Amino acid sequence: MPSSAAVTVGSVAIGGGAPVSIQSMLTRPLDDTDAALEQTEALRTAGCEIVRVALPGHSVLPALKAYLAEAVLPVVADIHFDGRLAVRAIEAGCHKIRINPANLQNPGTLTDIVAAAKANSIPIRVGLNSGSVAPRSGIRPTDDNPAALLVDAALDGVRSLEKLGFHDIVVSAKCPDVTQTIDIYRRLAATLPYPLHLGVTAAGGLRQAVIKHGLAFGVLLGEGIGDTMRVSVTGDPVEEVRAGWDILRGLGRRRRGAVMIACPTCGRTKVDLQEIAAAVESALEDLVTEIGEENWPDDIRSVAVMGCIVNGPGEAAAADIGAAFEHKNAVIFRKGDILERVPAASAVAKLVSLIEEAASGIR
């Protein structure tokens, strides 16, 4: 696994062996402070660990300050073009900034940004994406090797900070293409000693977006590349956070509550298993928020929902607990062994109560 120095964003370490952290970005405008704080809380309860906010101009600085005073997560200010705005954001107390040094309208302000970041002990993410890099360099990302282009631009950005004696750096270089993303981050990991922020930009609606991130992050994290991540989804950023956890749990990299195992149903299924599975998934989300990962019972990390009683418990024998349904009844099982038969309508509540009982033994 490539080594990288640890960088600290508020209370969260990135790199240096720290768990891969999950980030998201506010879609509510910062100047509606209540809405921004409410969305931040929703992101935190979904498992978000670092939140990013767009800072479109100086007029938002008072709102940023009001937001920072109450935000429940470390905050990254995302700034384009205006170096002085980046300095003001750092002074306002944000915990990291994300800039593209190459697109500062006044390149001289980079010295002031670095001085402010040093004075406030915060890191800088050199954050590029294929769209913002290309037009300015006069070369479009449809050219022969868009990955090499983006990597070169990222390395230029990093060097411009290093020249100023600044090394508290995180790097990202995002594009909408999966294979290019894999190529880009492999090159960055092979070249740079800094933590990498994984991302795919402009990935699309929920299904396509989460698939693209899964394809790219599965390969990269499997190779030990990536220290923090944002899944980009056009839609509710809470889904970005949930998808991030799906990825880390899917790869066995981090734990958070229980994962759900649900059969895909077939002509044998007699209940609306999709509805039941959604109810269980939602209940598991609520439970981990309520109980907390630190109190979650370690012997209930997977919960199965199966569409037939005959094969269900056996097929889901690897699940810690589960329910298998027929018309009006369900059997509740643990590791494939049937515990009891209950009315189908109370099966979800029974699964939840099994987790709550196990958790109460811990707390």
Nearer to a copy of itself, 295 or 302 (CB): 302
Q: What backbone torsions phi and psi does residue 260 show, to the nearest 5 degrees?
A: -100, 135
Give me the least distance between CB of 124 and a copy of itself, in Å please. Answer: 19
What end-to-end distance do the CA atoms of the chain give, in Å? 36
Give me the least distance between CB of 252 and a copy of itself, in Å please. Answer: 5
Nearer to a copy of itself, 14 or 248 (CB): 248
Whether the CB-CB separation of 132 and 103 falls below 8 Å is answered with: yes
Dihedral of CA atoms 207, 209, 211, 215 in degrees, nearest 10, equals 180
Nearer to a copy of itself, 167 or 249 (CB): 249
CA neighbor of 323 nearest in space, from 294, 348, 300? 348
Quote the CA–CA distance of 26 and 17 in Å, as a whole number: 27
Give me the least distance between CB of 151 and a copy of itself, in Å please. Answer: 16
The H or E element spanning position 136 is: helix 130-137
Nearer to a copy of itself, 102 or 161 (CB): 102
Strand pairing category for 124-129 and 228-230: unpaired
CA distances for 194 relative to 5, 209, 265, 304, angstroms:
6, 26, 45, 40
Strand pairing category for 96-99 and 75-78: parallel
Nearer to a copy of itself, 8 or 244 (CB): 244
Output the six-digit token pair for 98.
């994300």
Give me the least distance between CB of 313 and a copy of itself, in Å please. Answer: 9
Give me the least distance between CB of 121 and a copy of itself, in Å please. Answer: 26
Nearer to a copy of itself, 158 or 175 (CB): 175
Give me the least distance between CB of 216 and a copy of itself, in Å please. Answer: 7
